């Protein structure tokens, strides 16, 4: 019988990854992304140095569909058939465990973690990302892998997603808290580098994605600290929360943090702020 992995949880540390790197059931995925330089810049960073044997997956090309066409917002979720094709092309099998990382504390890699986890595939994130990896780096393009057998397209579970109507209802008051993980200055409307309108959804609470990380180590904060931070904005169970960001990418780090905190699984507002402001009739506030 082929040995299969038992991941220790949604996070793995660098020592665990180093000790399992040669296992045939483990795939490491580099999910670095550049919002300005696009796929080419992210690919170049990968080729300058990556965890040995890692595959490269790009947010725009591999982890999102056409913006505002195939779904809501700048990074709508790709169709399940397209996800399966992408995973096969990367050499990933249905039962492989995938460990994801980036160079921004997981703010991008968590998107792939969530996409796999929410559809029942074993996945974890390297805590601390590339900066936590102390082993040697490999340079150049990704090693060639045999085409994978990731053959089962799985629909995105509706109970784990929210749309603008859900968010509007939650923002009107009640048990569900809308959590915005964008940086504080974007939430307050002081700057908006990516979307046409600055500000936030009325009633939303701000827990910036960077505040989920230890500023000294880049590691995800301990579970008890994460619980305290979410309790401070009124979230005591993840099913009380809808999490969003600018376009559905960094919001996934909030979802992972809620899981690590032991609070369960929240919903992702797929289109996030980019979808909210796409309709000029929706209310926006600043400050």
Q: Indicate the Cα dihedral angle 278, 244, 122, 116, nearest 10°.
A: 0
138 bridge partner residues = 50
242 bridge partner residues = 178, 267
The Cα 247–Cα 257 span in angstroms is 18
The Cα 276–Cα 269 span in angstroms is 10
DSSP string, 12-62: E-HHHHHHHTT-TTEEEEE----TTTHHHHHHHHHHH-BSTT-EE--HHHH
Give the catalytic positions in this structure.
245
Please identify which residue in the block is written with the tokens 């399966």: 84
The Cα 111–Cα 153 span in angstroms is 17
Cα–Cα separations (whole angstroms), residue 94 to 83, 119, 122, 187: 12, 11, 9, 39
Region for 53 from its dihedrals, namely left if φ exceeds 0, alpha if ψ lies in -120 to 50, beta otherwise: left
Distance separating the N- and C-terminal Cα atoms of the chain: 59
How many residues can be counted in the chain?
A: 287
């Amino acid at each position: 019988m082929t040995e299969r992995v038992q991941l220790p949880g949604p996070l793995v540390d660098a020592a665990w990854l180093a000790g399992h790197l040669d296992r045939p059931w483990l795939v490491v995925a580099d999910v670095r992304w550049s919002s300005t330089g696009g796929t080419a810049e992210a690919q170049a960073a990968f080729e300058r140095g990556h965890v040995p044997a890692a595959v490269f997956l790009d947010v725009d090309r591999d982890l999102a569909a056409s913006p505002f066409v195939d779904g809501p917002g700048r990074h709508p979720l790709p169709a399940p058939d397209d996800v399966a094709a992408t995973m096969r092309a990367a050499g990933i099998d249905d039962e492989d465990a995938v460990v994801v990382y980036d160079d921004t504390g997981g703010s991008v890699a968590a998107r792939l973690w969530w996409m796999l986890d929410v559809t029942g595939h074993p996945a974890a994130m390297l805590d601390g990302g590339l900066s936590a990896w102390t082993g040697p780096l490999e340079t150049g393009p990704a090693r060639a892998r045999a085409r994978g057998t990731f053959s089962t397209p799985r629909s995105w579970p509706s109970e784990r997603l929210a749309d603008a109507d859900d968010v509007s209802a939650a923002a009107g008051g009640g048990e569900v808290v809308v959590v915005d993980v964008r940086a504080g200055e974007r939430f307050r409307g002081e700057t908006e580098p990516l979307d046409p309108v600055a500000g936030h959804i009325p009633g939303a609470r701000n827990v910036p994605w960077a505040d989920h990380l230890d500023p000294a180590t880049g590691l995800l904060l301990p579970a008890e600290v994460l619980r305290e931070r979410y309790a401070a904005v009124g979230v005591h169970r993840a099913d009380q929360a809808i999490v969003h960001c600018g376009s559905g990418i960094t919001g996934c780090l909030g979802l992972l943090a809620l899981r690590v905190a032991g609070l369960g699984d929240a919903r992702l507002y797929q289109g996030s702020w980019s979808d909210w402001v796409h309709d000029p009739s929706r209310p926006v506030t600043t400050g």
